[in-house]
Chain A
Amino acid sequence: MKVTIQKDAIISGLQKVQAIVNPRTTLPILSNVLLRAEDGRLWFTATDLEVSVRASAEGQVIKEGGITLNARRAFSIFRELPGPEIELEADDDDMAHIKSGSADFHMVGISEDDFPPLPKFDEGQTFTLEQSQLRDMLLKTHYAASTDETRQVLNGALLSFRDDKLMVVATDGRRLALVEQEMELPDETSLDLIVPSKTINELIRTLGESGSLKIVAGPKQVAFDFGGMLVISRLIEGTYPNFRQVIPASSDQRVPIEREALLAAVRRAALMTTDQSRSVRLNFLKNQLELVTESPEVGTARETVAIKYTADDISVAFNPEFLMEPLRAVESDEIFMEITDELSPGVIKADVPFLYVIMPMRIS
């Protein structure tokens, strides 16, 4: 292969795929990125066998072909080249020759034949939506997913297509984030995809502000095709738990609170938590929300936020991290907190239709 390409183009192409590359893998080929010159473009492919990502950049293809190079090292080299144009050539001995201005590199690669082929599937249900829509939904929910490997079905986000709606849900069993979006679906559509967190993070990183996105869902895999990118991911097998049963049908109190003020107050109060006592107590008092953290070995913090509240005092404790994450993820100026008592789930609603259920912490 031989191609000449702008430095900026090759850098941005590599950036899109290299997050997938696992630098410490037992298979050396998985530390590599596949570079292939074809159809007037340079194609970048990376995989960890669960998620595969392909991006491309326009270039001048002099001879078609491909080679795989250690992703990290190649990226460092391309980034440091004087530019603005780079010539990349691979010979039959899997050696890459990289030239740019005064620089001349010869880098040992591995044959593209050794690179795992992109999973192929032609059949599957297809959905189309705006890239920014999905990105926004993932941003609002992804942080709630579990990292506990014994609950694999929670190690990702649920994308549920039914009733002319896309719903995205993530939970780790202690809090749950959910967001819905109206979307035209073929009649009788009813499909649940559990997409691994790694894929979700890659999508958040690469989905754009504009442009459309095509989702093709097969029985075991899903492909996201957008803006010249292709992300193909394994789906997590299993049935997502019935999350609807944990969403409280009603709560005793629905309190509007200014989002930024609450976030800042929780953030400050959290400074006084420790590994042993990692909770912030929310005291809903007359027209005032009081936040208190107490750690015997560190000290105490007390914060107040003005609210409209006239019902009986309620006190409930939460993990401050679990409170801050949704407050950071949504944009609206005002959120609603729904609370019942110190042992019942609390609910945060914002940017309708965003919903977050958070279990309290019991304090002795």
Chain B
Amino acid sequence: MDAFFAAVEQRDRPELQGRPVIVGSPPDQRGVVSTCSYEARLFGVHSAMPSRIAYQKCPQAVFLPVRMERYQAVSRQIMQVFESFSPLVEPLSIDEAFLDVTGAVRLFGDGPAIARRLKARMHALTGLTCSVGVAPNKFLAKLASECQKPDGLTVTPFDPDGIRAFLAPLPIDRMWGVGRKTQQLLESNDLHTFRDIQRISVEQLSRYIGQSAAMSFKQRALGIDQRPVGNTRPEQSISRETTFPEDVTDHERIRTALLDLTEDVGQRLRRAGWYAGTAQLKLRWAGFETVTRQRPLVPACRDDAHLREAALTLLARLPLTRPVRLIGFGVSHLQPDAQATTGQLTLALDHPPAGDPKQERVSMTIDSLRARYGPHSVRRASSLVTPLPTNK
């Protein structure tokens, strides 16, 4: 979807159409731009830019808070549009998905034809525009979808030589899996574009980034990607973090923020159907130094009670001697059931080996109450030290 959060706001409030809209933190508080409309992008504003700077670049922009529930509701509509074209839909994020339309060709025409229909139906049903990439595999499709935004439609070549040529001029940071660090590493070795990776031998590349990364980068540079479309992408981790509006020394406030994050992570974990094998706490002190602490969860769990216990144990390991700027909580080593498919089995002591069904039921009941009556309908009493949201 194009500038998804901002586009939803503009659609919901027609008076914002044509105006620069920035969704994220207000400019007088710490925090960043989550999404901005294309009107704002003309001024040099982009996602993840501190709101303060965004304001300097575009003072006339309308700053709006993130209404995640609203976007999630629209996301469900979007996914329904996708599903009307193919049963093989793999959501990549709240506003992106891969569709395998191999089986839909007879019904709707070839790839580009399906893409045009999809864009039309999307606009008709949601009033939103999207950018589509049509390609022989997921990696190329994702790249192509980013080529002409907004409202774009890009079709990649389907033959190996054509794919190679299509990719060659792209800068290295467009490759999936290349972050800032890897980019620096590659560029310091004079590797700047896909063409450079296409030409270098795997052996040579391994020396810079290790063998397994070298193998997969090489494949991607050639546009090779065998991953099937499906709900198979193993989630690596689920995490949430929050930056305080001002640095915090009040332990109770830090603790409450952590517990709120823990519940949020717990809810996502349960919705995704995983059990977590590891819990991680992240703290950023005033001055930006960041520390993380993690611990294994044995047995793996997905209920709030156990996640809270882990979060607080981790917090207790970090003496809060300095003001805190940011706190985060995450889980990883996600697995389909509490007992790992490999590894050490546990005795059936008071912690039953299959997670903690009772606590899971409690957490899931709370999840469904919140889904029905809103996220603030059920709260921990301790979280009431922060004011209740006013009804809008």
> Could you tell me which A residues sit within 8 Å of B by CB distance?
148-150, 171, 173-176, 241-243, 245-246, 319, 343, 345, 357, 359-364
Are B349 and A361 interface neighbours, CB within 8 A? no
Task: Considering the complex, give the chain A residue whose CB is closest to the CB of B314.
Answer: A150
Partner of B347, one of A246, A343, A361: A246
Given contacts A148-B298, A150-B309, A150-B310, contact A362 B347 (CB under 8 A): no
**B residues near A345, Cβ cutoff 8 Å:** 347
Q: Is B84 an interface residue (CB 8 A)?
A: no
Partner of B350, one of A148, A175, A242, A360: A242
Q: Report yes or no: A246 in contact with B345, Cβ–Cβ below 8 A.
A: no
- Shortest beta-carbon distance from A143 to chain B in Å: 16
- Does B341 sit at the interface, judged by CB under 8 A? yes
Across chains A and B, which 4 residue pairs bring their CB atoms closest together, nearest first?
A: A241-B349, A241-B350, A359-B345, A246-B347
Contact check, A362 vs B341: say whether CB atoms are below 8 A apart: yes
Residues of A within 8 A of B348 (CB): 245-246
Bound together, the chains give a CA A208 to CA B169 distance in angstroms of: 78
Ordered by A's residue number, 28 sampled pairs between the chains whose C-beta atoms are within 8 Å are A148-B298, A150-B309, A150-B310, A171-B347, A171-B349, A173-B349, A174-B344, A174-B345, A175-B347, A176-B347, A242-B349, A242-B350, A243-B349, A245-B348, A246-B348, A343-B345, A359-B344, A359-B345, A359-B346, A361-B342, A361-B343, A361-B345, A362-B339, A362-B341, A362-B342, A362-B344, A362-B345, A364-B342
Nearest chain-A residue to B340 (Cβ)?
A362
Are the CB atoms of B349 and A246 closer together than 8 Å?
yes
Q: A148-B298, A173-B298, A364-B341 are in contact. Are A359 and B347 (CB under 8 A)?
A: yes
Please tell me if B292 contacts chain A, counting CB pairs below 8 Å.
Answer: no
Which residues of A lie under 8 Å from residue B310 when comparing CB positions?
Answer: 150
Contacts A171-B347, A246-B349, A364-B341 known; 15 new A-B pairs at CB < 8 A: A171-B349, A173-B298, A173-B351, A174-B346, A241-B350, A242-B349, A345-B347, A359-B344, A361-B344, A361-B345, A362-B339, A362-B341, A362-B342, A362-B345, A363-B342
B210 to chain A, nearest CB (A): 14
Q: Are B342 and A173 in contact (CB under 8 A)?
A: no
Residues from chain A with Cβ under 8 Å of B341 in the complex: 362, 364
Q: Which residues of B contact A (CB under 8 A)?
A: 295, 298, 309-310, 313, 339-351
Q: How far is the CB of B153 from chain A (nearest CB, A)?
A: 43
- Majority secondary structure, A binding face: loop
Q: Select from chain B the residue with minimum beta-carbon distance to A146.
A: B298
- With A173-B298, A362-B340, A362-B341 already in contact, the answer to whether A150 and B346 are too (CB < 8 A) is no
Q: A173-B298, A362-B343 are in contact. Are A150 and B349 (CB under 8 A)?
A: no
Query: Taking CB as reference atom, which chain B residue is nearest A363?
Result: B342
Roughly how many angstroms separate A245 CA and B352 CA in the complex, as a whole number?
11
Looking at A150, A319, A359, the one whose CB has the most chain B CB atoms below 10 A away is A150
How distant is the Cα of A361 from the Cα of B339 in the complex, in angstroms?
11
Which one, A148, A241, A319, contacts B344 given CB within 8 A? A319
> Which residues does chain A contribute within 8 Å of B343, judged by CB atoms?
361-362
Is B313's CB under 8 angstroms from A150's CB? yes
The interface centre, meaning the residue of B298, B313, B346, B349 with most chain A CB atoms within 10 A of its CB, is B349
Q: A318 to chain B: closest CB distance in Å?
A: 9
Contacts of B313 in A (CB 8 A): 149-150
CB distance from B49 to the nearest CB of A (A): 40
CB-based nearest A residue for B313: A150
Contact of A173 among B295, B309, B347 (CB under 8 A): B347
**Cα A243 to Cα B346 with chains together (Å):** 12
In Å, the complex CA distance between A359 and B349 comes to: 12
> How distant is the Cα of A255 from the Cα of B340 in the complex, in angstroms?
29
What are the residues of chain A within 8 A of B351 when measuring CB–CB? Answer: 173, 241
CB nearest neighbor in A for B317 = A149
Neighbouring A residues of B345 by C-beta, 8 Å: 174, 343, 359-362
- Bound-state CA distance A338–B310 (Å) is 35
Cβ contacts under 8 Å, B340 to chain A:
362
Q: Please, which residues of chain A bring their CB within 8 A of the CB of B350?
A: 241-242
Query: Chain B: which residue is nearest A154 at the CB level?
Result: B349
Task: List chain B residues, Cβ under 8 A from A149.
Answer: 313
> Which residues of the partner chain B approach A360 to less than 8 Å between Cβ atoms?
345
Contacts of A175 in B (CB 8 A): 347
Chain A: CB-nearest residue to B296: A148
Minimum CB distance partner of A322 in chain B: B344
Task: Determine the distance from Cα of A268 to Cα of B20 in the docked complex, in whole angstroms.
Answer: 69
CB distance from A251 to the nearest CB of B (A): 15
Most chain B C-beta atoms within 10 Å of own C-beta, residue among A173, A175, A319? A173
Smallest CB gap from A176: residue in B: B347
Q: A364–B350 Cα gap in the complex (Å)?
A: 27
Q: Which of B295, B309, B339, B347 contacts A357 (CB 8 A)?
A: B347
Min Cβ gap A257→B in Å is: 22
Least CB separation from A151: chain B residue: B351
| Residue with the highest number of chain A CB atoms closer than 10 Å, among B309, B344, B346, B351 | B344
How far is the CB of B161 from the nearest CB of chain A, in Å?
37
Contacts of B342 in A (CB 8 A): 361-364
- Nearest CB on A from B275, distance (A): 15
Nearest to B348 among chain A residues (CB) is A246
Q: In the complex, A45 Cα to B350 Cα: how many Å?
A: 38
Question: What residues of chain B lie closer than 8 Å to A174, measured between beta carbons?
Answer: 344-347
Contacts of A246 in B (CB 8 A): 347-349
